[in-house]
């Protein structure tokens, strides 16, 4: 039953058919969201989006099984994970799972000023806050009416609470000009923030917007290089960001381009949706239901075996370059 003391089983490391070692779980806590980002949920989340997300006992069982498979890093995402009242409790439960060493959260930052200290106390290792523009008008147009000052206050609260790693996600959209990129860079001069510029990805629901608004990462790369930023050496454990540093800046800048050749070669992650379906690729066609084996501790082995079997079918690569995004209508559904 759920009250049993968690025991760590010696991890049996998980590799897919291409020999990619998987150790990173991205878990969506809800499909619901309080923003209406134009590339994600322009109409807001659907009424049914908040229905029946995984409960805390289900999340505990899920994360224990992944830890059995050698997963040591978990990121909580959505939808907007902070719309769940038990978000800090979930962070604590994940952090206390034997074998888990890092717990991250991706958020739009709207509730962060009030939550940052609780999240830190719960053991959060890193937070990614989305902030696509520092210009109030542009930010409002992207998010469907949010104010950037409120998100900036959340980021400052996360820094003040000493959450160990604070990153800012900026989706690259046409209209982001050099002065605004420079404002983001300036922010890293004295503050140990990591700004990550992310290329817009095409999904089933945003095809027209994607065609109109995509801005290629080269635009930012050129600004970085002209201003004395240099690319840092990568390690095997690095994520998909190509990182840049500058001798006069405390922070770092990363660029994430899912359209780069070889992007999937170092993929180390699996995703679970808020209703407990495993997705082995963000832009894949397959969802493997896990919820039926999350109801009892007695099903732990069955759960582990179901994950293993699905991983054998993990696609070598997404097919975004061909305009194919699998069954992904928007990233709020798959835990972006
Ligand atoms: N609501 C939270 C947030 O916005 O940070 C977490 C979920 S959101 C799906 C996770 C990240 O994916 C955000 O940084 C968001 O900007 C990004 N994102 C969403 N749709 C995207 C798309 N089509 N292309 C690139 N990034 C996207
Ligand atoms: Fe909500 Fe995040 Fe999607 Fe924006 S990107 S609509 S904040 S889930």
CATH of domain 19-44+51-334: 3.20.20.70
| Residue 5: predicted pLDDT | 47
| 169 alpha carbon – ligand 2 mean position (Å) | 12
| 78 alpha carbon – ligand 2 mean position (Å) | 8
How far from 146 is each of 6, 41, 186, 241, CA to CA, in Å?
41, 14, 23, 27
What is the per-residue pLDDT across 288-313, written as a single tens digit (0 to 9) for each? Answer: 999 999 999 999 999 999 999 999 99
Determine which residue's CA is closest to atom 13 belonging to ligand 1.
130
Determine which residue's CA is closest to atom 5 belonging to ligand 1.
107
Q: Does residue 150 have a pLDDT over 60?
A: yes
The ligand placed nearest to the CA atom of residue 106 is 1
- Atom index in ligand 2 nearest the CA of residue 40 equals 3
| Residue 61: predicted pLDDT | 98
* Average pLDDT rounded to a whole number, residues 17-30: 94
Nearest in space to 46 (alpha carbons), one of 79, 88, 89: 79
Give the DSSP letter of residue 2: T
Question: What is the DSSP track for 197-226?
Answer: EEE----TT-HHHHHHHB--THHHHHHHHH
CA atoms within 13 A on the CB side of 292: 4
Long-range contacts of 146-150 (CB under 8 A, 24+ apart): 146/35, 146/108, 146/110, 150/109, 150/110, 150/113
Residue 170: CB within 6 Å of ligand 1? no
* Average pLDDT rounded to a whole number, residues 59-70: 97
Mean pLDDT of the chain: 92
Separation of alpha carbons 11 and 8, rounded Å? 8
Q: Is the pTM of this model over 0.85?
A: yes
| 157 alpha carbon – ligand 2 mean position (Å) | 20
| Residue 11: predicted pLDDT | 58
């Amino acid at each position: 039953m759920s009250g049993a003391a968690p025991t760590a089983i010696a991890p049996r490391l998980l590799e897919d058919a291409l020999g990619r070692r998987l150790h990173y779980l991205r878990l969506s806590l809800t499909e619901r969201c309080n923003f209406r980002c134009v590339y994600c949920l322009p109409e807001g989340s659907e009424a049914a989006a908040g229905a029946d997300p995984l409960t805390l006992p289900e999340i505990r069982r899920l994360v224990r099984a992944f830890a059995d498979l050698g997963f040591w890093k978990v990121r909580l995402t959505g939808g907007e994970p902070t719309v769940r009242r038990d978000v800090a409790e979930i962070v604590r439960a994940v952090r206390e799972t034997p074998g888990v060493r890092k717990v991250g959260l991706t958020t739009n930052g709207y509730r962060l000023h009030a939550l940052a200290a609780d999240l830190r106390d719960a053991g959060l290792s890193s937070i990614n806050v989305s902030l696509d523009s520092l210009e109030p008008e542009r930010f409002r147009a992207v998010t469907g009416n949010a104010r950037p000052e409120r998100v900036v206050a959340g980021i400052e609260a996360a820094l003040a609470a000493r959450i160990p790693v604070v990153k800012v996600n900026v989706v690259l959209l046409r209209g982001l000009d050099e002065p605004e990129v420079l404002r983001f860079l300036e922010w890293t001069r004295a503050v140990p923030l990591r700004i990550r510029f992310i290329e817009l990805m095409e999904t089933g629901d945003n095809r027209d917007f994607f065609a109109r608004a995509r801005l290629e990462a080269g635009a930012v790369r050129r600004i970085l290089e002209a201003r004395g930023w240099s690319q840092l050496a990568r390690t095997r454990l690095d994520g998909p960001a190509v990182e840049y540093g500058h001798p006069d800046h405390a922070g770092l800048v990363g660029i994430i381009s899912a359209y780069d050749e070889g992007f999937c070669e170092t993929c180390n992650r699996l995703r679970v949706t808020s209703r407990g379906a495993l997705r082995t690729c963000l832009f894949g066609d397959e969802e493997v239901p896990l919820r039926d084996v999350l109801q009892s501790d007695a099903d732990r082995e069955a759960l582990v075996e179901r994950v293993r079997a699905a991983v054998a079918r993990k696609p070598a690569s997404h097919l975004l370059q061909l305009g194919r995004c699998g069954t992904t209508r928007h990233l709020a559904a798959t835990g972006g």
